[in-house]
Structure 1
């Protein structure tokens, strides 16, 4: 019966009629048609109101609440013209997911009639019942009041589905007592703090006209697509987002034939559909391609202001999942949905800049002489060295633990890769001089018909978790299912701290009578003397580096989430966030509590699911096969045919050891007397997870022994290669 379901699934996939390919519209005709952009505001608002809103968005000035009614009326008229009947305050709780509360444009009058209404008060502030969102002890469960507040810097938009159109308003989510319950509030605070510190630095460097400094983000999104017929037959994919059991197929990614290969027709239709919806929502999708593993793909946008990019990243994950359903796929954003092949990350490309000085992490043609760049880059180096454990903690999840430290993703040791050119420059700084930097050069290909083109002065390093890539840093350890807000908050915060320290040191040196250039060289040398140990350009996967990093350079190797998350409770991290003004002590502690609980719950769900699947799905199938195999052997022996019992004995042995491991895992899950949440996390990491791995070994070995027509679960071969 179960095998017949698999056969039917394969047949339904292979016989599936493709959706018709839509004729693509010109980008200019699609772009931001579903977004209430500044140009739409200008066309619908009085000049003074538009000027006020524009100033708040572009300069970070205080929002004039008195204009909210006028903006709300224009926003409502625009949305209703596009078919909207409801509006939603969209916010981002501490779950990596997107939340929204829908309300109608309806006001009931005393005579029983109704009016279409959307006031400024409703635009600016909402009050969802957020009692069930994780809050880490910021409030009691019975205290339900929480507020959403309009974030004018991220544009409103309409979300169109088959069931209608909704006006969506990006907001922050805070408690009744004012603490941040979301991902957006700390990101806005960190941008404001970084702007203040960066502006001070630029003024020390002699700039008098300094526009607001903002961080930017471009987040590359990796994901898997599995046909829904297969995914719906796998309880582990549906409930845990990854395969808890599954024997790798004979062929995986070893031929590298999927990477950047021709995109399958069905997948390309899906991608084009996603991109069209992204363009309508003003999300600048730029790149698409096959990734390393079979069934794995990537979508990458052009960079944007960090807050908007974070909102757009949440929208991108939503669009990938809902559009996949339309095309008969399930989109998997888990970091490791399949064993034995590459998992998925979300490389966050991060930089800082403004309208007057440009990208502050652009080295230019002569980085050794670009003091502005060297100071900002030096601030990053100091920040990563001083607060590397924090960067590890903000990417720590149960699912991301499957990637970090494996030879497919950055190691759990946080280091900085600068590239040959910049590493030489900073080595010169550590010796007290900066005299030159390597030139880019040109690439001679030896074929007249091919162009001569410039090559970068340094190569890339895919084993580095924090790598400089030309004019930005790429944080490669972020998980594919994560919100990018947490990593952005951490990067902005540590940069703020370092810029403030460097500015203090520069002013101190100049107060001693040194000129600015001398002061800069003195401070940068001190940065490299104290923090240069974090710079590493070699193989981050090697055992030699792991030993050197920990034993010689003093870098932390926080292998698991259980090791990393307690960093959020460290005194120096608490002091950092409070001093910079990004998170209070209670807000930071709440995040530790929430993320620790999510880690424990994720492992507990997987462990319970493994026990259930092994008992009720794999065990019965293996027993049926063993019974038939034993009967066949006995019947053959009865007529004098000597069949070997080895296969039946091996199946029986694997069944026995699997059931024993099921019993032990089930028993281990019953332990609840933990002295602290830290102890509970370590128990999950060091006891439950290894037991799960051992159980999987036997189950996967059985898949290799049991006849295919008895095996109940869609296989890796089917899920990854049948499209």
Structure 2
């Protein structure tokens, strides 16, 4: 059992070079200078780098660190790190421990083997990492980790963090322009904050290791439905099993020690599914923290004899894994710009920021959709567990009434908040929230923030975050152009908001996003419905989308082109790996098991027949097994051929589309026969754990 006496306040941030630590280890002048860089985005004064590096080194060594690494987020979607020790030879056979300001600020990993989309040739190896001062350094597993951005020798972005940092600055700039028009020129910084909710499955590690598909692809490529799934809803918020309690306790401790605000943990809807949620952080810090959550989920699970599955759809027939991105805007003065306050009708500043978000989401729905597109997420979006691929905005009844009033130029008065205690005197009176929650909406206002619910569990949050920040920055830029010259800000802002609401109210939808009626209604409204990743990626070729990224300095043309190629190539490679894995399992495990069972049946039939027993029913059973086996072999060969044909196509788009339309179809055909065969073959002959084992035997 975990140590239940752990005090989170005592261990929180133990391995983080936090503001409190910096204040005690840096000179007053250096601390003040670094704090301005971190909090206000002022350029780093490189003259303080050596002092900061020395202080960080001594602190890290005190915590047992022997190495340091520039930790970055390449286009693989994972993290990358190269570790160097602190030792430097002294020439007399001994060493000293050193760490310079230059080593803190700049690293030089090999850039040639990371995805570059043509930005770098294989022979062009040099790349750089640059310290992201706004994300705290930390110690983990004996190394000092320095969060960084990654770019090429010729200056092109090769990672997921740099576009987010640029988008953060663009959003900050445009939001402060709007606030200045409202007389708040004293605001020095507007920060996009993000609080990710991470879903995952936990299975027995011994069983996991017996499923090559889980090991290589993260999802089960076949598996018949078990007698029980999630239909009783008894897993959701249910009592945590002992093994899960111990695992979650250790995970919480490891996250808290790294300054990660793990707040909520619970059982999710599907059997063996769980969720962990973090408190809001600045967007780029939230990205780093979520990547650590993904890593530590898997490492901690392994230490408990478990396996954490973070693929979007590990199991067919039950809910998949999402990652809800709670997004808001806050100032350095502590104001939440998306807080409607008690009476939003008297808060024109909130109304204009609400209008900006609605405008951004409507105008750049395709770009936002592309930011969450992935091979894994295609299995999840649109099912009755996740939002549809149609992007709409839920605002709730009260805000919809506010929007209607602003559009019509009328005054709006908030209704008095409802209170209830269920007519039970012993229950406390509860004040109801202004809006319900809509789990079918992909982009929902939830009180003082928006929840972007389309992101897949395995995704790096940086992608959707930088797109969201950029498109909202563009909307705010256009709003600021209108408001900066006005003398009556309240009147002008409400007039402008009314125009925006009228132009973009088509994207507002408070109903059931799962319904067929909504699909038809969305089409009438002209809302895009991009159903798969390959088509979603094409949004990066759209001139409007490219222009907004370039206008705000987030990505330049060749960097956008590179991402287009990388995403397509990555999609094709994932489906190819899945296809070849399924073929391998089919021929090496499943078909031999079927033939083994067929031989057992055949021998039994022969024995019974020799004894004069009627075996007609048994013969039909044998024929079914042999028929399925023959079909499985043929479909596995067809799948292999489809994958080879898709991989041979000339362009990444043509290849990815062939994998989507031909290879996935062939995989589904093969799976159908395998899933029909599985319940027929006895448990002691079927060579891999089935869904019942994986989902219910943790």
Tell me by how many angstroms 1:666 deviates.
Answer: 1.3
After superposition, what is the alpha-carbon deviation per residue over 1:146-169, rounded to whole angstroms, capped at 9, x for unaligned?
A: 011111111111003xxxx11111
Q: Give the aligned partner of residue 16 of structure 1.
A: none
Q: Distance in 2 between matches of 1:252 and 1:399?
A: 21
**1:378 counterpart (349, 355, 359):** 355
Q: Distance in 1 between matches of 2:25 and 2:338?
A: 38
Q: Aligned pair 1:459/2:459, yes or no? A: no
Q: How many residues matched?
A: 695
1:669–1:208: structure 2 CA closer, same or farther, 3 Å change rule? Answer: closer
Q: Aligned pair 1:524/2:506, yes or no? A: no
Structure 2 unmatched ranges of 5 or more: none
Q: Give the aligned partner of residue 100 of structure 1.
A: 81
> Do 1:284 and 1:301's aligned partners in 2 also have CA atoms closer than 8 Å?
yes
Tell me by how many angstroms 1:646 deviates.
Answer: 2.4
Q: Give the aligned partner of residue 154 of structure 1.
A: 135
Tell me the C-alpha RMSD between the 2 structures.
Answer: 1.3
**2:680 counterpart (705, 719, 723):** 705
1:391–1:439: structure 2 CA closer, same or farther, 3 Å change rule? Answer: farther
Q: Distance in 1 between matches of 2:17 and 2:484?
A: 45
**2:248 counterpart (271, 274, 280):** 271
Tell me by how many angstroms 1:489 deviates.
Answer: 0.2
After superposition, what is the alpha-carbon deviation per residue over 1:361-418, rounded to whole angstroms, capped at 9, x for unaligned?
A: 0001111221111111100000000001111101111011000111110110111000
Q: Distance in 1 between matches of 2:185 and 2:122?
A: 51
> Do 1:155 and 1:169's aligned partners in 2 also have CA atoms closer than 8 Å?
yes
Q: Aligned pair 1:394/2:371, yes or no? A: yes
After superposition, what is the alpha-carbon deviation per residue over 1:162-218, rounded to whole angstroms, capped at 9, x for unaligned?
A: xxx111111111111111111111111111110000000001111132130000010
Q: Aligned pair 1:660/2:634, yes or no? A: yes
Which runs of structure 2 are paired with 1:258-407 in the superposition (5 Å)?
258-356=235-333, 358-407=335-384
Q: Give the aligned partner of residue 652 of structure 2.
A: 677
Q: Give the aligned partner of residue 122 of structure 2.
A: 141
Q: Aligned pair 1:621/2:621, yes or no? A: no
TM-score (norm: length of structure 1): 0.95
**1:435 counterpart (397, 400, 412):** 412
After superposition, what is the alpha-carbon deviation per residue over 1:208-254, rounded to whole angstroms, capped at 9, x for unaligned?
A: 32130000010001001111100110100000001111112100111
Q: Aligned pair 1:560/2:538, yes or no? A: no
Structure 1 unmatched ranges of 5 or more: 1-19
Q: Give the aligned partner of residue 599 of structure 1.
A: 571
After superposition, what is the alpha-carbon deviation per residue over 1:627-655, rounded to whole angstroms, capped at 9, x for unaligned?
A: 21122123212322113122212212211
Tell me by how many angstroms 1:675 deviates.
Answer: 4.6
Q: Distance in 1 between matches of 2:491 and 2:335?
A: 25
> Do 2:178 and 2:484's aligned partners in 1 also have CA atoms closer than 8 Å?
no
After superposition, what is the alpha-carbon deviation per residue over 1:536-592, rounded to whole angstroms, capped at 9, x for unaligned?
A: 011111111111112x11111111101100101211111110001111111111111
- Segment of structure 1 superposing worse, 497-506 or 186-195: 497-506
1:357–1:269: structure 2 CA closer, same or farther, 3 Å change rule? Answer: closer
Q: Aligned pair 1:539/2:512, yes or no? A: yes
Q: Distance in 2 between matches of 1:128 and 1:356?
A: 39
**2:156 counterpart (162, 179, 192):** 179
> Do 2:255 and 2:261's aligned partners in 1 also have CA atoms closer than 8 Å?
yes
Q: Distance in 1 between matches of 2:298 and 2:124?
A: 33
Tell me by how many angstroms 1:719 deviates.
Answer: 1.0
Tell me by how many angstroms 1:673 deviates.
Answer: 4.5
Report the 3-state secondary structure (helix = DSSP H, G, I; strand = E; otherwise coil) of the residue aligned with 1:89.
Answer: strand
Report the 3-state secondary structure (helix = DSSP H, G, I; strand = E; otherwise coil) of the residue aligned with 1:319.
Answer: helix
After superposition, what is the alpha-carbon deviation per residue over 1:456-495, rounded to whole angstroms, capped at 9, x for unaligned?
A: 1221110000000000000101110111001110110010
Q: Aligned pair 1:694/2:669, yes or no? A: yes
After superposition, what is the alpha-carbon deviation per residue over 1:114-167, rounded to whole angstroms, capped at 9, x for unaligned?
A: 22110111111111112111111111111110011111111111003xxxx111
> Do 2:386 and 2:454's aligned partners in 1 also have CA atoms closer than 8 Å?
yes
Report the 3-state secondary structure (helix = DSSP H, G, I; strand = E; otherwise coil) of the residue aligned with 1:136.
Answer: coil
Report the 3-state secondary structure (helix = DSSP H, G, I; strand = E; otherwise coil) of the residue aligned with 1:607.
Answer: helix
Q: Give the aligned partner of residue 76 of structure 1.
A: 57
> Do 2:351 and 2:494's aligned partners in 1 also have CA atoms closer than 8 Å?
no
Q: Distance in 2 between matches of 1:419 and 1:23?
A: 41
**1:651 counterpart (617, 625, 646):** 625
Report the 3-state secondary structure (helix = DSSP H, G, I; strand = E; otherwise coil) of the residue aligned with 1:220.
Answer: strand
Tell me by how many angstroms 1:439 deviates.
Answer: 3.4
> Do 2:434 and 2:447's aligned partners in 1 also have CA atoms closer than 8 Å?
no
Report the 3-state secondary structure (helix = DSSP H, G, I; strand = E; otherwise coil) of the residue aligned with 1:710.
Answer: coil
**1:247 counterpart (208, 211, 224):** 224
Q: Distance in 2 between matches of 1:533 and 1:505?
A: 23
Query: Which portions of structure 1, spanning 4 or more consecutive aligned residues, are displaced by more than 4 angstroms?
Result: none
Q: Distance in 2 between matches of 1:675 and 1:101?
A: 34
Q: Distance in 2 between matches of 1:536 and 1:313?
A: 30
Q: Distance in 2 between matches of 1:25 and 1:253?
A: 34
> Do 2:643 and 2:659's aligned partners in 1 also have CA atoms closer than 8 Å?
no
> Do 2:2 and 2:250's aligned partners in 1 also have CA atoms closer than 8 Å?
no
- Segment of structure 1 superposing worse, 196-205 or 207-216: 207-216
Tell me by how many angstroms 1:355 deviates.
Answer: 2.6
Q: Aligned pair 1:90/2:90, yes or no? A: no
